[in-house]
C-alpha cells in the first residue's frame, strides 16, 4: 500500500510539472543528454515538437514520454520519426491541434487541458487499481498458503463442541 501511495504522490507532482510542458522550449530543455543530437529524424527539436519530454533512467537513456497522453517510448533509432511513432501508437489530442499552441483561445486551451487531466487521471487511476488488485491477489495467495495447508480439525461429534467438550443441555446416551 505504501508503494501505491508513493506512486500517487509522484503522479500528482507530474500532473503539475507536465502543465508547464505545453511550451516547446520547456520540453526541448529536457533533452540535454538525448543520445540522438543530429543527422537523424529524432533530434531533440523534433522530439519536443511531437510533444515528448526526455525521461532517462539508469538502464534506458532514450526514454521519451508525451507530456499530454503519457505515451512512453524507448528504443529509439536514428531514423524513427517522432510524429509517426507517436501517432501510430496512441491517439493524442496534442498531436491533432489545428493550430499552434500559442494561437489557442482561452476556451480551446481549457478544453485541451481538461482532456489532458482526464487522460492523466484515467491512467494513474488504472495503475492504482491494477496495483491494488495485484496486492490483493498476493495477499489472498499468502492466506491460502498459510491456512490452506494446515490440518483441519475433525468435525465435532453430535453433542460436542469443536473443542471436543460436551455442549450444555445434552446428555450422553
Q: What is the pTM of this model?
A: 0.68
Q: How far is Cα 69 from Cα 62, in angstroms, rounded to an integer? A: 18
Give the contacts of 112 (CB within 8 A, at least 6 positions apart).
93, 94, 97, 104
Q: What angle do CA 22, 120, 47 make, to 5 degrees?
A: 40
Q: How far is Cα 47 from Cα 77, in angstroms, rounded to an integer? A: 12
The domain ranges of the chain are: 10-129
Domain spanning 10-129, CATH class = mainly alpha
Q: Across all residues in the chain, what is the average pLDDT?
A: 81
The predicted-structure confidence for 139-165, as pLDDT tens digits, reads as follows 999 988 888 765 566 666 665 555 554
The predicted-structure confidence for 83-142, as pLDDT tens digits, reads as follows 999 999 878 888 888 888 888 899 998 898 898 888 888 888 888 888 889 989 999 999
Amino acid at each position: 500500500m505504501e508503494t501505491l501511495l508513493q506512486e500517487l504522490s509522484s503522479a500528482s507532482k507530474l500532473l503539475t510539472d507536465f502543465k508547464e510542458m505545453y511550451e516547446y522550449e520547456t520540453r526541448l530543455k529536457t533533452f540535454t543528454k538525448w543520445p540522438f543530437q543530429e543527422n537523424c529524424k529524432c533530434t531533440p527539436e523534433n522530439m519536443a515538437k511531437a510533444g515528448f519530454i526526455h525521461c532517462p533512467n539508469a538502464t534506458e537513456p532514450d526514454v521519451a514520454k508525451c507530456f499530454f497522453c503519457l505515451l512512453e517510448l524507448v528504443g529509439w533509432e536514428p531514423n524513427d520519426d517522432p510524429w509517426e511513432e507517436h501517432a501510430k501508437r496512441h491517439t493524442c489530442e496534442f498531436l491533432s491541434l489545428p493550430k499552434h499552441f500559442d494561437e489557442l483561445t482561452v476556451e480551446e486551451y481549457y478544453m485541451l487541458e481538461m482532456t489532458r487531466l482526464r487522460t492523466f487521471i484515467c491512467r494513474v487511476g488504472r495503475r492504482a487499481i491494477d496495483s491494488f488488485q495485484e496486492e490483493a491477489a498476493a495477499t489472498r495467495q499468502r492466506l491460502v498458503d498459510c491456512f490452506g495447508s494446515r490440518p483441519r480439525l475433525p468435525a465435532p461429534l453430535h453433542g460436542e463442541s469443536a473443542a471436543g467438550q460436551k455442549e450444555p443441555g445434552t446428555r450422553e446416551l
